[in-house]
Amino acid sequence: MDACAKQREYTAKDYKSDVKPIWCPGCGDYSVLAAITRALASMQLAPENVAVVSGIGCSSRIPAYTSVYGFHGVHGRALPVATGLKIARPDLTVLVTGGDGDGFSIGGNHFLHACRRNVDLTYIVMDNQVYGMTKGQASPTTEPEWEGSKLTPDGVGIESFHPLVVGLAAGANFIARCSSSDPNNVADIITQAIRHPGFSLVQVLSPCVTFRPEQLEWKHMVRTAVVDVTEDAARAARRLMTDDGFNVGKVLYKGDRPAYQPEPKGAAAVAELEADFAL
Ligand code: SF4
Ligand code: MG
């Protein structure tokens, strides 16, 4: 091939913006950002063909830190925005980034229906079992005995939400759990998630060093999973129901449901709809 005609190769740096992250030093989200850019580079996706959508929270800042198209929306609403974007622009690779509070509390209902609809999105949840941005309250994934917040001085007292079990039950087509302590593994899993059709759920255990300093222990969690990926939903369910939530480093389930992708409406059809609903 003519050297001039050779397409330029993208590196991870090409997907980073000039905005400097303001996360606390040591926050696990730095590694996840690096993993996302490595995954995009490994797939050689043109930045203009990728979009990252988020809600609110520390990890939801990721669209600002990447050079691809981004949308930093309102709390808990990343998934419906991303769904609309993917339906309208099926040519785009759409990632959704956020945390456990944003995704499983105020965004919980959207999470269920995004799994059910199975639109081709990759949802990367940085789970630190706490609301970091609002200074350390218990989140849906916080353990019942955690006493680290003044709002729950005697512990949370209720069982934590299990996103992968709920995601599987609701119809997610790809489920993985990994640790920010192993960014190359996270990048590999994100690449697999993007390639797999339908709704892919990637839970990344990503420590909040400020409000959950004990999570620094998570840096030892590197590919501890001994299981192999299964396409059997019942087997995946048994595995997820019986593990301790820290089986990391592997894709746990790959389904074969076809992604939901209706034909985008043309401009004329949209104008007609708008006219019908005009007040
Ligand atoms: Fe990260 Fe926690 Fe700091 Fe937020 S508060 S940037 S989650 S360490
Ligand atoms: Mg959180």
- Whose structure tokens read 């920010």? 180
- Beta-carbon contacts of 28 under 8 Å, excluding residues fewer than 6 positions away, are 126, 128, 180, 181, 204, 205, 206, 207, 208, 209, 215, 218
DSSP 140-190: TTS-TT---STTSTT---SPPP-HHHHHHHHT-SEEEEEETT-HHHHHHHH
Closest CA relative to residue 41, chosen from 68, 17, 13: 13
Average pLDDT over residues 267-274: 84
Across 33-47, 75-89, 138-152, 211-225, least confident range: 211-225
**What domain range is 215 assigned to?**
21-276
In the three-class reduction of DSSP (H, G, I as helix; E, B as strand; rest coil), residue 229 is classed as coil
Closest CA relative to residue 260, chosen from 121, 122, 125: 121
- The predicted-structure confidence for 118-138, as pLDDT tens digits, reads as follows 999 999 999 999 999 999 999
Angle at 61 between CA 60 and CA 65, to 5 degrees: 135
Verify whether ligand 1 is closer than 6 Å to residue 24 (CB atom). Answer: yes
Q: Answer yes or no: is 234 within a domain.
A: yes
What does the pLDDT read at residue 15? 98
- Whose structure tokens read 């059709």? 197
What does the pLDDT read at residue 224? 60
Average pLDDT over residues 183-193: 96
Spatial separation of the C-alpha atoms in residues 229 and 174, rounded to whole Å: 10
Distance 144 CA to ligand 1 centre (A): 21
Question: For residue 275, with 0-12 CB atoms within 10 Å meaning exposed, 13-18 middle and 19 or more buried, which class applies?
Answer: exposed
Average pLDDT over residues 194-210: 97
Q: Answer yes or no: is 231 within a domain.
A: yes
- The predicted-structure confidence for 162-184, as pLDDT tens digits, reads as follows 999 999 999 999 999 999 999 99
Distance 274 CA to ligand 2 centre (A): 38
Q: Answer yes or no: is 13 within a domain.
A: no
- Residues 10/46, Cβ–Cβ less than 8 Å: yes
- Whose structure tokens read 């192993």? 182
Average pLDDT over residues 57-65: 98
- Residues 134/208, Cβ–Cβ less than 8 Å: no
Residue nearest to atom 1 of ligand 1 (CA): 27
Q: Please check the confidence at residue 7 and state whether its pLDDT lies above 80.
A: no
Q: Answer yes or no: is 32 within a domain.
A: yes
Closest CA relative to residue 121, chosen from 219, 42, 52, 200: 200
Distance 264 CA to ligand 2 centre (A): 34
What does the pLDDT read at residue 86? 96
Distance 1 CA to ligand 2 centre (A): 48
What does the pLDDT read at residue 279? 62
What does the pLDDT read at residue 237? 86
Q: Answer yes or no: is 107 within a domain.
A: yes
Residue 90 amino acid letter? P
Structural domains of the chain, count: 1
What does the pLDDT read at residue 207? 97
Spatial separation of the C-alpha atoms in residues 5 and 64, rounded to whole Å: 32
Which of 126, 128, 210, 214 is the best mutation target for the ligand 1 pocket, counting ligand atoms within 8 Å of the beta carbon and taking the most?
210
Q: Please check the confidence at residue 43 and state whether its pLDDT lies above 50.
A: yes
Verify whether ligand 1 is closer than 6 Å to residue 99 (CB atom). Answer: no
Residue 139 is part of a domain; what is its CATH number? 3.40.50.970
Q: Answer yes or no: is 3 within a domain.
A: no
Pairing mode of beta strands 174-179, 250-254: antiparallel
Q: Please check the confidence at residue 24 and state whether its pLDDT lies above 60.
A: yes
What does the pLDDT read at residue 5? 46
What does the pLDDT read at residue 266? 78
Q: Answer yes or no: is 163 within a domain.
A: yes
Rounded to the nearest integer, the mean pLDDT of the chain is 92
Q: ipTM of this predicted complex? A: 0.98
Q: Answer yes or no: is 29 within a domain.
A: yes
